[in-house]
Amino acid sequence: MADKISVELCMGSSCFARGNSEILQAIEAYINEKDLADRVELVGHLCLGKCKFGPNLRIDGTDYSGLTPEEAITHIAKALEK
């Protein structure tokens, strides 16, 4: 099981308009509900460089694009299981 994972969320206007505001809310709720504050480092970035594919998210160096909030949570849960 991983000690701590890094979750980087693009906060640029394109990704935010495409749904990262909802993804951010879902991730924050998931972290709080599961008491994962000590296992998930959530960081915002101005741009992850893949604007047309957004919303964009990076988990431990792996990029994900076009995610729903549910898919983002699934990827985070999988990363925590490693």
Q: Which domains does the chain have, with CATH numbers?
A: 5-81 (3.40.30.10)
Query: What SS3 state is found at 43?
Result: strand
User: What percent of the chain is predicted at pLDDT more than 90?
Assistant: 91
Residue 9: the pLDDT is 96
Asked if pLDDT for residue 43 goes beyond 90, the answer is yes
Q: Return the closest-CA partner of residue 57 out of 30, 66, 18.
A: 66
pTM: 0.92
Bridge partners (DSSP) listed for residue 7: 42, 59
Beta carbons of 57 and 23 less than 8 angstroms apart: yes
